[in-house]
Amino acid sequence: MKPNHFSIPYVGWMAVFVVAPIIMVIVYAFTTSTGEFTLQNFADMGRFLTVFTRSFHLAFIATIICIVLGYPVAYILAREGQRAQRILVMLIMLPLWMNFLLRTYAWMSILENTGLLNRLLTFLSLPTVRIINTPAAVIIGMVYNFLPFMVLPIYSVIVKIDKSILEAAQDLGADMFSVFRKLIIPLSLPGVLSGVLMVFVPAVSTFVITQLLGGGMVFLLGDLIEMQFLGTAYNPHLGSAIALVMMLIVIAFVVVMNKFGAGEEKAVGL
């Protein structure tokens, strides 16, 4: 097959900015500062098992919250008219047009001890809350920043479901709850799985949210890797090993989710 010359710039870009960095990470992960082969970098990761556990735990909670909030929004959005859908999709995407740091700084102003939330509680004569620099603040930041990535994939799948299938189920005596449970949910599962991947992967590796909303008190994998490359504990070989293991875990997660999604599609006859 004759190669397309228009793909050469893309292939070159991928080779330089994707493949080459991955190769460098692999090389650094299995070598010492003198270039000798070693597995000690992976052995040293045992000291950070708590960080791994905390990172996946918070990312899992944020992903579940995004599903609980995002699925009803996507379902309601898909049932609206075309004009309303365009407006609502634009409103959902509107925060994404703003810089990621600015959105996170805004939540600092809301959640800090003298922020808008506590001012409102004081105005209502209610006790104030301490959320900033806690895991709860980090989860709130994750949910706010990544929720659109859950809503949009689910919406794009639900809106394409053939309405004649739903009408046929109702003609056969199925009520709305049965149609939703036995048809809409299984048929929309590919969108849910896509949303889970698009939320969980960046959530488990974030470090900007933890630094701004966690205040250095909530230490996750992204912070650990960043510290190995740019912090006082400079050790790019250990940082590469941590990044490689996290990459492999995420790839395994993606493979399992894709197989699960394929099995569900066969189950509903897609």
Which pLDDT tens digit goes with each residue over 238-265?
999 999 998 898 888 888 877 766 555 5
Q: Domain residues of the chain, as ranges? A: 48-234+243-267
> For the segment 58-106, what is each residue's pLDDT rounded down to a tens digit?
999 999 999 999 999 999 999 888 899 999 999 999 888 888 889 999 9
Using alpha carbons, select from 41, 177, 151, 44 the residue that is nearest to residue 95: 151
For the cut 60, the answer to whether the pLDDT of residue 2 exceeds it is no
Confidence of residue 37 (pLDDT cuts 50, 70, 90): very high
For the cut 60, the answer to whether the pLDDT of residue 120 exceeds it is yes
Q: Across the chain, where does the E strand assignment appear? A: none
List Cβ neighbours of 52 (8 Å cut-off, separation of 6 or more).
221
The pLDDT score that the predictor gives to residue 3 is 55
- Under 8 Å between Cβ of 140 and 213: yes
Where does residue 35 fall: left (phi above 0), alpha (psi -120 to 50 degrees), or beta otherwise?
Answer: left
Pick the CATH number of 48-234+243-267 from 1.20.120.330, 1.20.1530.20, 1.10.3720.10, 3.40.50.1820: 1.10.3720.10
Using alpha carbons, select from 190, 156, 183 the residue that is nearest to residue 265: 190
Confidence of residue 270 (pLDDT cuts 50, 70, 90): very low
Give the separation between CA 179 and CA 173, rounded to whole angstroms.
10
The pLDDT score that the predictor gives to residue 179 is 83
1-12 mean pLDDT: 70
Secondary structure (3-state) at 37: strand
Using alpha carbons, select from 110, 106, 101, 100 the residue that is nearest to residue 148: 100
For the cut 60, the answer to whether the pLDDT of residue 167 exceeds it is yes
Confidence of residue 14 (pLDDT cuts 50, 70, 90): confident
